[in-house]
Amino acid sequence: MSSSRTPRLLVLGATVALLTSGCFSSPADGGSSDPAAEGRISLAMLQPPRSGLNPLTDDAFKLSRWSTAETLVVLDADGDAQPSLATEWTQTDDLTWRFTVREGVEFHDGTELTAEQAAAALTAANEASPRPRILDGVDLTAVADGSDVVVTTGEPDPLVPQRLSSPQLAVLAAAAYGANGRVDPVGTGTGPFELVAVDGTSGATLDRFDGYWGDPAAAAGIDVAFVPDGTARAAALRTGTADVVEAVPVSQAGLVDEELVHEVPMPRTNTLYLNTASGPFADPAVRAAARAAVERATIVETVYEGRADIAEGLLGPAVPWAAGLREDQADPSAAPVPAGTTITLGTFTDRAELPEVAVLLEQQLEAVGFTVEQDVREYAFIEADALAGAFDAFILSRATVLDSGDPVAYMYSDFACEGSFNISQLCDPAVDAALAEAAAATPGPERQRAVIDAERAVLATGAAVPMLHERVIQGEAAGVSGAVRDPRERALISADTTVGED
- List pLDDT tens digits, range 37-95: 459 999 999 999 999 999 999 999 999 999 999 999 999 876 788 999 999 999 999 99
CB-based contacts of 10: which residues, under 8 Å, 6+ apart? none
Euclidean distance between the first and the last CA atom of the chain, given in angstroms as a whole number: 32
At residue 311's C-alpha, the angle toward residues 310 and 316, to 5°, is: 110
How many CB atoms are located within 10 Å of the residue 391 CB?
23
* pLDDT value at residue 489: 87
- The list of the chain residues with pLDDT below 50 reads 1-23, 25-37, 502
CA distance 281 to 274: 6
CA distance 242 to 262: 15
Q: Are 443 and 423 in contact (CB under 8 A)?
A: no
Helix (H, G, I), strand (E, B) or coil at 458: helix
CA distance 202 to 193: 19
* pLDDT value at residue 270: 97
CA distance 51 to 259: 35
At residue 18's C-alpha, the angle toward residues 17 and 24, to 5°, is: 120
Name 476's bridge partners. Answer: 244
* pLDDT value at residue 59: 95
* pLDDT value at residue 187: 98
What does the CA dihedral 190, 195, 200, 203 come to, rounded to 10 degrees?
-120
- The model carries a pTM of 0.73
* pLDDT value at residue 501: 59
* pLDDT value at residue 11: 34
CB-based contacts of 283: which residues, under 8 Å, 6+ apart? 335
CA distance 354 to 397: 8
- Mark out the alpha helices in 188-295 (DSSP H runs): 230-239, 250-253, 284-293
